[in-house]
Chains A and B, each alone.
Chain A
Amino acid sequence: MALQAIAFYLMAAVTLGSGLAVVSARNPVHSVLFLIAAFFSAAGLFVLLGAEFLAMLLVVVYVGAVAVLFLFVVMMLDVDFAQLRQGFARYMPLGGLIAGGLAIEMVVVSTTVATRGAARLNETPMARGAGAADAMSNAEAIGRVLYTNYVYFFQAAGMVLLVAMIGAIVLTLRHKPGVKRQVIMDQVLRNPATGMRMVSPKPGEGVEP
């Protein structure tokens, strides 16, 4: 138990510290790297909670794919941070308000769950799915809940993502006229009969184009 407590405090401290560093780092690339560290230690916290499936998904999706693209974009852009910080004092009250609101929400939710939620929590579909068999791995428990209780929401979320993806492609896809593109099919279908022409030019005449 002591080992778990040490691990928890270590990872929680790393999460908070790197979260703070994300906003305070001078170099935007360092910010993204700290964000990755925060994701990673949050995944560690999930593992401590016994939610190893969620932890792995967090690492695969956010750290392995989303943050790579973040880093990709931030490295390419030459972000001038001094310019970005100009409005800092002006937006500070609004940002502080939002952050404070979120913090209060989190405290209220967690204390509610801690004081009277333990009994009520068992009634949620998630807990019922997991409670059905303790031997069930949490990937299976999530799958059961997702594909039975919430299957329509799950499908709808998938549709939303699909529409977003198609929308992004439609918005950015441009066919510039006059650009020669490689057509693999044409290249594969090319043979001596279509690709070659036999001529016998007379002296001084050359080959017509």
Chain B
Amino acid sequence: MTAFWTTPAGWSLLTVGQILLVLLVLLLTLAIFLIYGDRKIFAAVQMRRGPNVVGPFGLLQSFADLGKFLIKELVIPAGADKVVFLLAPLISVTLALGSWAAMPLAPGWVVSNISVGVLYLFAVSSLGVYGIIMGGWASNSKYPFLGALRSAAQMVSYEVSIGFVIITVILLSGSMNLTRIVELQAGGFWHWNILGGAGLANLPLALVMIPMGVIFFISGLAETNRPPFDLPEAESELVAGYAIEYGSTPYLLFYLSEMSNILLMSGLMAVLFLGGWQAPFPTPFTAHWAPTAVSLFGFMWLYLKSLLVFFMNSMVRAVVPRYRYDQLMRLGWKVFLPTSLVAVALVAGWRVYAPVIG
């Protein structure tokens, strides 16, 4: 039976199965409940109740919304470029779901363990801008176009600082394979990259890596167009930005890809800085466990960490007012870029000259 899984047909089937399992079952239900959680957190901050009608505690609200989106009529504006208009949400959602292929979820749980996993994620997330820019242009309307232009400039700007932050992590780990990056952070929270990786010997680097973690988090907000950086769809100035002309399933796809990207950024923050699936304490007791149990144990930690980052994400959205556009650009180019550039030099210097290297 095992022989079958190593033939091309069996291997392809296995990969497709993994993808379906990871993406459709896990990710979509997660995204759907996260939308609910997001709304609940937002409501709690504003002392409202939030969705509480559909299902127990309003848990099924997102499914009701899903159904509503699916049965609405699809309207294509008269002057729109039809092909590009419909292609844009498809590209968005394909990229958003495709980026999960390189995400290490637990020991041995990764669809494609490629050697340049970090770069792959970076590349795919940098492509996410095309969905927005194409949607905004194809709508043939002024607000969507302005939203698309803003989003293009914003995402390109913040990619630069995200890139440099990722380089510091790569320098610490000496690898671009995400699984390897997580494996190197084993042995307790003092081995996590946000505290310099490699235990107490590298603790001085925490002075550099903690700000890098913060910059990554904030740039992640800007990269996924989350408030306070949601200028492409700022409802008080651009109505809904690039998404104005969209309704029904195409809008649903945009929404879904946005949610998936936020989740990915939370997961990436957990993997790069917070030790991924590693528990925050040494785990010698898992040595005799079955591999599946170890994987589940690891997945639980990654899940908790991602949720923590997502919670911070939601709180920021609820608490911080929207940035002005020039302030956004100033923050990206004049604050984050020099800071992360200096950090790259510091981490590289530490790697070369530090007495003990983990």
Contact = CB atoms under 8 A, between A and B. Distances in A.
Interface in B324-340: 326, 330
Interface string B1-42: 000000010001000000000000000000000000000000
Contacts of A59: 123-124, 126-127
A3 B126 contact: no
Nearest to B149: A72
Contact of B119 (A53, A68, A69, A71): A53
B186 interface: no
A29 B137 contact: yes
B283 interface: no
A36 B130 contact: yes
B152 interface: yes
Contact of B149 (A2, A33, A76, A137): A76
Interface of chain A, helix or strand or loop or mixed?
helix
Interface of chain B, helix or strand or loop or mixed?
helix
Contacts of A138: 115
Interface string A187-207: 000000000000000000000
A156 interface: no
Contacts of A65: 126, 156, 159
Contacts of A64: 123, 126-127, 129, 156, 159
B116 A60 contact: no
Contacts of A38: none
Contacts of A69: 156
B133 A71 contact: yes
Contacts of B81: 27, 29
B152 A71 contact: yes
B84 interface: yes
Contacts of B330: 184
B114 interface: yes
B344 interface: no
A69 B153 CA distance: 8
Contacts of A76: 149
Contact of A72 (B114, B120, B124, B152): B152
A53 B159 contact: no
Interface string B163-180: 100000000000010000
A57 interface: yes
A63 interface: yes
A99 to B, nearest CB: 28
A52 B129 contact: no
Nearest to B11: A3
Contacts of B12: 3
B122 interface: yes
B137 A139 contact: no
Contact of A68 (B115, B116, B129): B129
Contacts of A71: 130, 133, 152
A56 B153 contact: no
Given A56-B116, A65-B159, A68-B129, 13 more contacts: A3-B8, A3-B12, A33-B134, A36-B130, A52-B114, A56-B119, A56-B123, A59-B124, A64-B126, A71-B152, A75-B148, A75-B149, A182-B326
14 contacts: A29-B81, A56-B119, A60-B122, A60-B163, A64-B123, A68-B152, A68-B156, A72-B133, A75-B137, A75-B145, A137-B115, A139-B176, A182-B326, A184-B330
Interface of B: 8, 12, 81, 84, 114-116, 119-120, 122-124, 126-127, 129-130, 133-134, 137, 145, 148-149, 152-153, 155-156, 159, 163, 176, 326, 330
